[in-house]
Structure formats: structure tokens, C-alpha cells
A and B are shown apart, each in its own frame.
Chain A
Amino acid sequence: MGRALVMRLGQAVLAAFGASLLVWLMLPLAPGDPVDMILNAQRVEEPTDQHIAALRDRFGLDRPLWQRYLVWIGGVVQGDFGLSWRTGEPVLSGLMRRLPATLQLVGLSFVISVAWSLGLALVAARWAGRWPDRLVLAYTRLLAATPSFVLALLVLQFVVVGMGIGLVLSGGAGATLIIAAAILGIDRAAGWTQLLRAGLLEHLARGPADVAKARGARPGRVLAIYALPAALLPWMTALGISLGGLIGGAPILEMIFTWPGIGEHVLTALSVRDVPVIQAFVLIAVLAYVAASLVVDAMAIMLDPRMRHARPA
């Protein structure tokens, strides 16, 4: 088991290195002069030659690419992602200040989506082929096809404004957190419900469950004892992988609900090409994704002995 874990860790480190290189290449591969991008981000219309020279020197833009990468990754390893072109503040402090709010939103939405999808999948599997199952399937298909921002705008219009529940401008209020997390969580739960339902139905049709049914076990007991544990493993893997999607979906919800997380910060950075902020956000998101995958793999290795000898394809 230890060897398998070390192998997964090695793969994760390689993935993180590759990601850092790709993320860093965003700047040198972008069209145009980086100085022009910095000036745009700072809304400087008439830069002096001295100002342009100072920017090149400050951001090391005259150095060879490999040197620039080493300086950047050296800083990243120490938690220094450089300065925001737009605000001039250290990138990491700007992100960290807003991160707790984002973690609140993502964490709560994760809890909601796990509970919601687990409950719906169990109901659908218990009454497979009957109206509760068909209802759950129709509901999940509809939600899976609905972007979360559309759902958010509908909720703002009809629930917040129409019914007077909550506020449009959150200002960090807990009420908004619950609404936004519910939208994000319920939206994300659609796919997870379909996956778990399929797993439950597959395992209900297998030998052990059949034997239990033949012995007269109640359907709920068969589902809980024979199908659910077996179906949970792939579902948990999907949860870990989809966590990245949850984090990726948060910025747009934060922007719509004026939730003071990193979303608005990053979207503004995107609009003005504030590359250091974008690089930091993408890299942190990728690393979180890699870390989540690693945790899920480690859990799978611990739970399923066959995984201890599995080799990556």
C-alpha cells in the first residue's frame, strides 16, 4: 500500500510541476507586449519612457524566459506570486484575504450537494423505474443542462426580489451564503445523483443483492447493505474530481451574489489581463484539484485492496 501511495504522490508532484509551467507560459505566450498589458491594467494612457523602463525592470521582462520562470517558481514555492498589475498589492495576500469567503461557499455547497445527491439517488434506486425515479431523473437532467448562473439569476429575480427572501447585495451576509451555496450545490448534485443512481442499480442487479432479495431481505436493507457500499467508491472518486468544478463554478456565483470571495477578484483580473493574479488563481485551483485527486486515490487504495497493485494506464 505504501508503494502505491508513493507512486500516486510522485504523479501528483509531476502534475503540479507541469501545471506550474503551463500556467506560467500564459504570459510569454500571450500576444502583445507585457508592458502594454500592465499599463492597460493600471489604466495608464500616456506612459513615459522612464515608466516603461521601470516596469520592465520591476517585472524582470528583459530577462531570458528560463530565468523568468525560475524567479517566478522560486517565489511561488515561498508563497510569493508577485504583485497584482492592477492593484499593486501582493497577489497572495489579495487572494488569501478573500479565500475564507470562497471556502465557506464551496464548503457549504459541497455538503449540500453530497447530501442532496445521496438522498435523491437512494430514492431513485429504491423505486427504480417508478414515478419517484422518473421524477429524479427528469429533475437531474434539467439541472445538469442549466448553467448555475442562470439558476442564480432566476433565484435572485423570483426568490430574492419576488418573494423578499434575502438580499441581492450580500456584503458578506450569511443569508446570501446559504442561497448561493444551495444553488451551487444543487446544480452540482445533478450529475452526482445520476452517477450514484447508476452505481446503485448496477450493484442491486448483482449476485449478493440478488441472494439477499431471495432470502426475503427488505428492499431498503438490500440497498443500504449490499448496493450502497459498493457504489460509493466510484462516486467518491467522482466527488473528488468534481470538486475542481465546484471551485471553478464559484467565481460566477460570487460575482452575481456579490459574495466577497476570490471570484470577483479573479474575474476582474481576467477582464483587465492582470496576469499574476490569473496565474496564481489557476495554479492554486490546479494544485487543489491535484491534491483532491490524491486524497481520493489514497482513500481508494485504503478501501479497495485491488487498487494497491493497480498501475496507471
Chain B
Amino acid sequence: MINLARASLSGAVAAVVLALPQLAMAHDPHADLRIVTSFTINSMNPWQDGYWMQEFGQAELLMKFNEDGQHHPWLLSSLENPEPNRWVLTLRDGLHFQNGRPVDAAAVLAAIDAALDHSPAAQGSVPDGAEFTVTGALELTVTTPAPWPELPGVLADEQVFLILDADAVAAVGDDWAQLVGAGIYTGPYTVTGLDDTRLKAEAFADYWQGTPALPGLTVAFVPDPNARILAVQNNEADIALYPPLAARPAVDAMPDVHFNIGGLSTGGFTGYMNLEQGPLADVSVRKAVLRAVDYREIAEDVFRGGLAQAHSLYAENLPFALQNYQTDLLDAAALLDAAGWVTGPDGFRHKDGRKLSVILAIYPQQPDLVPLSTAVQAQLARVGIDAEIVSFDGINQALLEPSNQWDLAMVSTGAASWGRVQNFLNTYLLPGARRNYGGYDNAEVNALVPELATEVDPERRTEILHRIQTILWDEDPYAFSFNIHLGRVIVNDRYACYAPGFALYHVSWQTAPCD
């Protein structure tokens, strides 16, 4: 009997213990860059997963959106707008795909046509009647029925027109795995392997900007944030993307591991107020909420510099961003007083027997919303607004579902992703738009947004965007930024100098270890 027990226990233990010698393997650091990211690249299908290739150095675009908030030529040598309805795109000379084929105007047109055939993002980004034509060996002309000022942003958007060898893509049909090693892009690193766990890429020796700094790279797909941090700590990865801010104190205490904060992004946690039900239907309460939020405290005290302070709806590096956010508790209190909300013995405001109480809607996919919503709850209480925090799974659907009760939703949003402002305005602010969660309908905004879509004069564009920001703060508040996101990564000593990529450009041809 004792032998039976002993045998059972030892059988279980043996499976683990006997394997330990094989488990204790040293991991030699090697020259390739090793990135761990939370998202999985599912396939080489360029219309479904191609945008990742731009982020990790395989693919490139015609234009690039830079930290200065401007669009700059990337594979183009110039982008000109000689007439309101005509753009001229001139390619750099001597470009080649990784498979050796030349990148000329015909090849770029083929890539654009293929995207328009297969990619919903491309189809949704190009206005009806737009025509792309080859007008020279390295020149394309775009003509549109109406002016198209967003074209530079569209050409810089990773979801729209990746420059790829359309013939090579067409040749594989739906067998996307055949594109591994096919060299269909122009970037400094060619995909040499892709499975369910990682992407591998090797340097493209004939890259047009110069020899890539690394022999290759791997991007491992690790959804769990703790595992990503541990991978860097265990020297199995050099860079971990998308670390939660809550991990910063623990990482700061680790030797040889660094939590690097980068520059401003183009989005942040955006507040959307419900105008269709509850107390925020009252414009005075909405204005009071904006002025009660302490934007500096959120950025500097709550997130200790891990997020940037919001000064307006847009990040301050964008040329059209105002600096109109101002925390003002006295003003907020005065607005509520004037609207008839009187402070009661419980410290909260009441009107007609109703307590001024709002529901803050957050969602579990963004763990940083927990400290943010808790901070906002405390800030609103300072002016007598009670707040309850409710987490909704699937926030986009939940906010549009009439049976769900919410007043102020906190959603991570890019208000000007890749410098494109039209997408956010069209999708979130116009009546009937897909993500107009709170039923916003402002006549002036409704007129300004379509005007902006065809306005090419930079001064008038800035004027329109300033006016929209003013309306959203001073006159008819609805959407506002709690903060602006900053890039952040966890790195090991070798990459201690690595700065988080702006606009998701994680790897360039110059990305290299610090030494």
C-alpha cells in the first residue's frame, strides 16, 4: 500500500523533477532584436494584417507622420497639390521591393488598386470619384471631384495603402503563407517566418536608406502583460510593448530593466457625455464636469508622468491644437449653482429631490481606466457631483445599447491618428455616426466637419478645428480628452536608450542596441 502511494507521488513528481536538467538552459543573447507585443499577427494577408508590417520594419508607406505633427514624404520624394482637386505624387528614384522588383509609378498604382479592391479601410478612406493615374515613370496623379485635403494623412495611415508588390500578392491567391519570404514590401526587414507565436524577419541588404542596423528581428506575440515584462527581465526579449502603467513602480525596482516613456501620441482617454439621458443632458452640468476635471493631477499625480496632460482635445504637438482646457472649480460650482443644483448636507448637489449623480463607464481591456476613473470620481466630488463607476465589456456596443445606463464614458481614442482629423470627427461627432455614443448633434459642428473635409487652405482648416475645439469646451461640450497618451515600453540594458516609436513606428532601419 505504501508502495502504491509512493509510486503515485513519485510518478507525478518525476515528470517534473526529471525534466529539470533539460529545463535549466542558458539563453544566449544574440544580435537580433527581440520584441514582445500583445497582439498576434494572424497571417501574411496584407489586407487584414499588413499594417503590422509597417510597425515592425517590413513595410513602408508613401508618407510618414512625424513627431512635429506634420506629414513628410517617405517613399515619395514629393507630394504636391498644384490645384485643389489634383495631387501629384512623385516617387523616390531607385526604390525596389525586397524581391528585387522596381517600385515605380505602375507598381504603386497596382498596390493602390489592389488595396481598393480588398481593403475596407482603403475603400472607406477614398472619396467617391477619386482617380489615381500614372503620369510618369515615377509620378502618379490623383484627381478628385472635390478637394481632398486628407490625402497626405491617408497616405501615412498604416491601414490604407501599404506599398507592396501587388503582382506577387495576387499570384498566391488566398494562400497567404506563401508570402513569407516573398519580399513583397520595401522595408528594411524581410519576413522570413510567421507562425502562431512569432514573426521573424531578416535584414534587407539593398534597403534604399542604407544597411539595416540589425541582422534581423523577432516579434513574439505575448498577450499577458506580466509575461511580457518577465520576458525582458529574463533576457528573452529586448523590448516589451504596451506595458501597463501600473507596472512602472515594480519595473523601476528591477535591475537591468527600464520603463521608458516616449513622446506625445495623437490620442488619449477621451470622455464622451451622454446627452440623451441623465444629468449631462444639461449643458451647464457638462461644462461643470469639464472644469472640475483636474487634467494636471491626472497626468502628474495619478499616472506620475506616464500620461501627458491634456490642454485640449488634441495633443499639443499638432499645429491646430488649442490650449483651452482649464481646471476651475469655482467656475464649475458657479455653473452648477446657476443651473439650480444646490449642495445638500451629504456634500452632493441636488435639484428637485434628485441627487446629481453620474455613471462613469469604463471597460476592462484598458486597466489604466481604473485609476483614471477613480481619480475623476474624486475630482467630481469636489464640486458636489456623485459618480459611480461601471465597467462594460465591449464598450463600443455597450454605449450604443439604449438599455445600458451611463453618463460619462471613458474610451481610448485617437482623435488625429496619423494626423487624420476627419475620421474622428466623422465617426464620433456627427449625428447618426457609428460611434456617436451620446447623441451629439450641434448644428455648427455638423456644418464645419463636412466643410473641413474639402477645405485645402491651411489657415481655414486651422480656424475650423479651433472653432470645433471651442464649441466642445465653451458652448456645447460633448467629447474631451482626459489626457494624451505617451509612448511607453519596457527595455533591457541593451536597449535602454530605445525611445518608444511615434505613431507605432516601432522599428526603423536605424533601430539598434545602445552600444
Contact = CB atoms under 8 A, between A and B. Distances in A.
Interface of A: 30-33, 36-37, 39-40, 42-48, 50-51, 86-89, 97-98, 108, 111-113, 115-116, 118-120, 122-123, 126, 153, 156-157, 160-161, 164-172, 174-175, 178-179, 181-182, 185-186, 218-221, 223-224, 255-258, 260, 264-265, 267-268, 271, 273
A33 B195 CA distance: 32
Given A32-B401, A43-B159, A119-B5, A51 B120 contact: yes
B220 A120 contact: no
Given A120-B9, A122-B5, 10 more contacts: A30-B397, A112-B16, A116-B12, A119-B7, A126-B2, A156-B226, A167-B236, A181-B15, A224-B1, A267-B223
B43 interface: yes
B218 to A, nearest CB: 9
Contacts of A123: 5, 9
B142 to A, nearest CB: 18
Nearest to B401: A31
12 contacts: A36-B434, A108-B15, A112-B16, A113-B12, A122-B8, A160-B234, A166-B25, A223-B1, A256-B227, A258-B224, A260-B197, A264-B223
Contacts of B230: 156-157, 160-161, 168
B237 interface: yes
B120 A44 contact: yes
Which of the listed residues A165, A169, A255, A268 has the most CB atoms from chain B within 10 Å of its own CB? Answer: A169
Interface string B380-412: 000000000000001011101101100000000
B224 A256 contact: yes
A166 B23 contact: yes
A167 B25 contact: yes
A161 B234 contact: yes
Contacts of B400: 32, 36
B514 interface: no
B8 A118 contact: yes
Nearest to A113: B12
A98 B196 contact: yes
Given A51-B124, A168-B227, A271-B365, A126 B1 contact: yes
Contacts of B36: 169
B30 interface: no
B40 A268 contact: yes
Interface of A is mostly: helix
Given A32-B401, A115-B11, A175 B25 contact: yes
A130 to B, nearest CB: 14
A264 B223 CA distance: 7
B427 A46 contact: yes
Interface of B: 1-2, 4-12, 15-16, 19-20, 22-27, 36, 40, 42-43, 45, 48-49, 120-121, 123-125, 159, 195-198, 220-224, 226-227, 230-231, 233-234, 236-237, 365, 394, 396-398, 400-401, 403-404, 423, 426-427, 434
Given A87-B48, A157-B230, A36 B12 contact: no
B221 to A, nearest CB: 7
A43 B6 CA distance: 55
Contacts of B1: 122, 126, 218-221, 223-224
A136 to B, nearest CB: 11
A257 B22 CA distance: 17
Contacts of B398: 31-32
A25 B7 CA distance: 48
B196 A153 contact: no
B180 to A, nearest CB: 16
Nearest to A166: B23
B121 to A, nearest CB: 6
Contacts of B198: 171
Contacts of A255: 223-224, 227
Given A46-B426, A86-B42, A175 B22 contact: yes
B25 A31 contact: no
Nearest to B434: A36
Contacts of B226: 153, 156, 256
A48 B40 CA distance: 26
Contacts of B236: 167-169
Contacts of B43: 87, 89
Nearest to A50: B123
Contact of A32 (B9, B40, B220, B397): B397
B423 A45 contact: yes
Contacts of A51: 120, 123-124
B426 A165 contact: no
B25 to A, nearest CB: 7
Contacts of A108: 15
**Nearest 8 pairs between A and B by C-beta?**
A220-B1, A32-B397, A119-B8, A119-B9, A46-B124, A122-B5, A31-B401, A116-B12
Contact of A167 (B195, B234, B394): B234
Nearest to B404: A31
Contacts of A113: 12
A45 B397 CA distance: 14
A132 to B, nearest CB: 10
B196 A169 contact: no
Contacts of A267: 223
B15 A112 contact: yes
A169 B222 contact: yes
B397 A36 contact: yes
A96 to B, nearest CB: 12
A264 B120 contact: no
Given A156-B227, A165-B23, A165-B24, A89 B120 contact: no
A170 B220 CA distance: 10
A264 B9 contact: no
A31 B123 contact: no
B423 A46 contact: yes
Given A257-B227, A268-B223, A126 B197 contact: no
Contacts of A89: 42-43
Nearest to A175: B23
A46 B125 contact: yes
Contacts of A264: 40, 196, 221, 223
A219 B5 CA distance: 13
